[in-house]
Amino acid sequence: MPERVDLLVRGGIVVTVDPDDRILTADIAVTGGRITAIGADLDVEATRVLDAAGAAVIPGLCNAHMHETLERGVFEDLPFMEWLEDYALPKDRAYEPRHIRAAALLNQAELIAGGTTSFIDIFRHPVEAATVAERSGLRATFSPQVIDDPVGVGETLADNEAFVADWHGRAGGRIRAWFGPHSLYSCEPATFERMREQATALGVGIHTHVAESRAELEIVAGLTGGLTPLEWIDRLVGLGPDVLLAHCVELTPADIERLAASGAGVAHCATSNAKLGNGVAPVVELLAAGANLGLGTDSNMTNNNLDMFEEMRMAALVQKQRTADPTVVPSATALRLATMGAAGALGLAGEVGSIEVGKAADLAVVDLGRPHTHPLLRRGRGNVVEHLVWSCNAADVRHTVVAGEVLMEDRRLLTIDLAEALDLADAEELHLLTSAGVLDRRFPEES
């Protein structure tokens, strides 16, 4: 009698990203949300079968830094201070729960459609976003974006504490709630210290932006009598694997050593850094030092999409350009950064990030039947990893699975009504820009 399983992902080229980087043509059996077997022609009776013939099966992609916002393509090509003071801060202040619900539906639809299965969000009104994630089926961590100064543009420490108490561990642990101090220049030292006490007591993480720009370097040096942002955050919260730092562009060699030794997660956001003109993070050096490094897209305002394939490619490209060495960040490394690397940065390396028996069944099935994924060579290790990093994009994903639940099948979203999400995003962004008082300045009616 063949064994009964919940789900069989049949006949794909399985790119495991396991410790041996195995690639094999195989079926994957899933029961109770976990991978129970990987092998050719598994003799099982499956409740549900997903066809992976002509496709690569990869670990679900993990996005280690993003904000669920609506500001895609509305504040482009502006000088930084004008962008921040005239647009970004007024719209952040105007955000209401209704806007976040729309943003969460839009962002989570895009993640599922692009094969991303885990993400961390740092933004406003997290109850709305987490409520959407309960239904969307994604593996989600929310770190409410706490801002002390200016008042009213972010969440408060009290909001964050209440959210962690209420939401951490919901949906069988699929949803986590962390602390989310925005940055060293927008939160008081006492806020960081209180968050560290609470994070340790409750066993949750802390996610913040650190060493993103040269301006931040100067502000922090002025506030602290010459510390680097990395030294300052280490003093305030004590770096460890439960801390996740976005950006880390401006690091000294000593910072890199400190960061790697601490085990703290780093979310490298290559596209966002490029778009904001913030320089290039020392990824080659962080990798050499053994840092706990993954990739993030940052928000749809600074990217402008949540396509982790594009993020892999960008991360590899900018390092090759920065170092004038085309051998750095090879394809397998780029893929690892978007899977195991980002899972590690999120503190989820034991659970997701690779395709291994016993791990959660978080998978993306990527169609290889496209002009841009051929020639496809099957000799030796073949060239599937090269295609995944250098040619593929989010639209190539055929199926997306989280904890054994199918969230997209044959490109059809099963947990989010896409048409509703798109209409709601348009309507709510119009409402938000109007109430922020920036709509007429940015999009004047034609006379």
CB of 213 to Zn ion, least distance (A): 12
**Cβ proximity to Zn ion, 64 vs 438, nearer residue:** 64
By beta-carbon proximity to Zn ion, the closer residue of 104 and 388 is 104
Q: Using the minimum distance from each CB to Zn ion, give the nearer residue, 67 or 99.
A: 67
298 counts as binding Zn ion under rule CB under 5 A: yes
Tokens of 360: 């959660």
Q: Should residue 71 be labelled a site residue for Zn ion when binding is judged by CB under 5 A? A: no
Q: Could you say whether residue 429 binds Zn ion (CB under 5 A)?
A: no
Identity of the residue, 108 or 213, whose beta carbon is nearer to Zn ion in the bound complex: 213
Query: In the numeric block, which tokens belong to residue 226?
Result: 């010459």
Report d(CA 61, CA 307) in Å as an integer: 10
> 3-state DSSP call for residue 219?
helix
In the complex, the smallest distance separating the C-beta of residue 207 from Zn ion, rounded to whole angstroms, is: 9
CB of 440 to Zn ion, least distance (A): 28
- For 252-335, where are the E strands, in sequence order? 265-268, 292-295
Nearer of residues 121 and 298 to Zn ion, judged by Cβ: 298
As measured in angstroms, the least distance from the Cβ of 357 to Zn ion is 35
The kind and range of the H/E element at 389 are: helix 384-390
Task: Evaluate the omega torsion of the peptide bond into residue 304 and state whether it is cis, within 30 degrees of 0.
Answer: yes
Q: Closer to Zn ion at the Cβ: 30 or 308?
A: 308
- Give whichever of 251 and 276 is closer to Zn ion, judged by the CB atom: 276
155 binds Zn ion (CB under 5 A): no
- Residue pair 10/52 in contact by the 8 Å Cβ criterion: yes
249 and 289 in contact (C-beta within 8 Å)?
Answer: no
CA angle 21, 23, 26 (to 5 degrees): 135
Nearer to Zn ion among residue 298 and residue 429 (C-beta):
298
Q: How far is the CB of 41 from Zn ion (least distance, A)?
A: 45
68 binds Zn ion (CB under 5 A): no
* Shortest distance in whole angstroms from residue 123 CB to Zn ion: 9
Output the residue with the shortest Cβ distance to Zn ion. Answer: 298
Smallest separation (angstroms) from Zn ion to the CB of 262: 21
For Zn ion, which stretch binds (CB under 5 A), given 47-55, 80-88, 145-153, 295-303? 295-303
Residue 269 CB, nearest approach to Zn ion (Å): 7
Q: Tell me, by CB under 5 A, how many residues bind Zn ion.
A: 1
319-356 CB burial, b ≥16 within 10 A, e <16:
beeebeeeebbebbbbbbbbbbbbbbbbbbbebbbbbe
| Residue 92 binds Zn ion, judged by CB under 5 A | no
- Helix axis angle for 157-167 and 189-202, nearest 10°, is 10
Q: Which stretch binds Zn ion (CB under 5 A): 142-150, 189-197, 297-305, 436-444?
A: 297-305
Does residue number 121 form part of the binding site for Zn ion (CB under 5 A)?
Answer: no
* Cα→Cα distances 424→124, 301, 413, 443, Å: 18, 18, 16, 19
Residues 266 and 258 sit within 8 Å (Cβ to Cβ)? no
CA–CA separation, 263 and 243 (whole Å): 9
Contact window for Zn ion (CB under 5 A) among 91-99, 292-300, 318-326, 437-445: 292-300
- Name the site residues for Zn ion (rule: CB under 5 A): 298
